[in-house]
Amino acid sequence: MYLIACRKVESFQISIGAEPLHSVLLTCFEFVRLVIMYKLITVLCCGMLLMACSSAPYRSPQNSSVKIASQRVDFNNSTKVKRILNQQYNAWRHVNHRMGGLSKKGIDCSGLVYRTYRAKFGIDLPRSTEYQSQTGQHIKQSQLRPGDLVFFKTGFKTRHVGMYIEKGSFLHVSSSKGVMISSLHNPYWSRVYWKARRL
């Protein structure tokens, strides 16, 4: 677009006459308009890419391939919840991140939470981070126990979610490293920490 506008500018010759000068001014205005449009398109594209985990357009999948557990787990049993989360980590360890994914070919952060809660804990959660962040009750970080959901603001409109295990550790899906366990004490996660929810 830059080149097209520049060629149009070069094709005109400024002379003393009013008509050629007027045409050049119009072409310059068109060039500025094209630059602004190009920048807006770039910003919109980047924004769509950064939506990450919060962009799933539905609350809960219909006809989900993830079978719900027949019995709901008691979250007061911290030992059992920790064991399930660690087993889930070992089963999904290093599976790559894939936006909208829900299988071992690739999964996103809200997908791992959805799948774990449904298949292992017997709880049917919404599929997207946006709606998951509205479930349950808000709790302070100091009140966290195994199985609580921890949320992060990783960008202007980007949200991330993980499942708390113990001693500051949480299970989640990193966009660069896939399924992994990280620490809330890590400077990055500490800085972008948003809130926690308990079901």
What secondary structure does DSSP assign to 79-142, as a single string?
HHHHHHHHHHHHHHTTPPB-TT-EETTEE-HHHHHHHHHHHTS-----SSHHHHTTSSEEE-GG
CB 137 within 8 A of CB 108: no
CB under 8 Å, gap of 24 or more: what pairs does 25-28 form? none
Q: Which residues are catalytic?
A: 109, 160, 172
Comparing C-alpha atoms, which of 186, 193, 180 is closest to residue 167?
186
């006809």: which residue's tokens?
63
CB 31 within 8 A of CB 8: yes
């007027």: which residue's tokens?
22
